[in-house]
């Protein structure tokens, strides 16, 4: 996937999501891109992709700490909400759309439990 294709996917997902703001490109290099997506649930998601290596990472950051993440360093894994330092292996790739859907599910179930 090219950087332009990756960026396009991120923008499409954020436009469709009720919890995502407009992404900002923080760094664009010849082989990589870093975007930041403000979140209505608080904090932001940092998104990284390197076209040359395929390295991909997503991190939901709130109050200066990662509270949920996913990346493919050493194989695809997540850093779950209940223990974001832990590496929980995934059977395959996690797209940005799947990452945002997981964040949406987490906050939806949290709001349902509060009512």
Task: pLDDT tens for the chain, 115 residues: list them.
Answer: 999 999 999 999 999 999 999 999 999 999 999 999 999 999 999 999 999 999 999 999 999 999 999 999 999 999 999 999 999 999 999 999 999 999 999 988 765 666 5
pLDDT value of position 45: 98
Calpha distance 76→64 (Å, rounded): 24
pLDDT value of position 23: 98
The 10 Å CB-count burial string (b at 16+, else e) for 82-96 is: eebeeeeeeeeebeb
pLDDT value of position 108: 85
Q: How many CB atoms lie within 10 A of CB 98?
A: 14
Contact, 102 vs 80, CB < 8 A? no
pLDDT value of position 63: 96
């Amino acid at each position: 996937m090219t950087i332009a294709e990756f960026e396009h996917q991120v923008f499409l997902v954020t436009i469709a999501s009720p919890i995502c703001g407009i992404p900002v490109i923080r760094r664009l290099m010849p082989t990589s891109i870093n975007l930041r997506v403000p979140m209505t649930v608080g904090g932001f998601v940092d998104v990284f992709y390197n076209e040359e290596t395929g390295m991909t990472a997503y991190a939901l950051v709130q109050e200066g700490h990662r509270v949920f993440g996913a990346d493919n360093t050493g194989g695809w894994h997540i850093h779950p909400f209940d223990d974001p330092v832990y590496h929980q292996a995934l059977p395959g790739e996690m797209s940005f759309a799947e990452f945002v859907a997981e964040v949406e599910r987490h906050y939806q179930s949290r709001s349902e439990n509060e009512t």
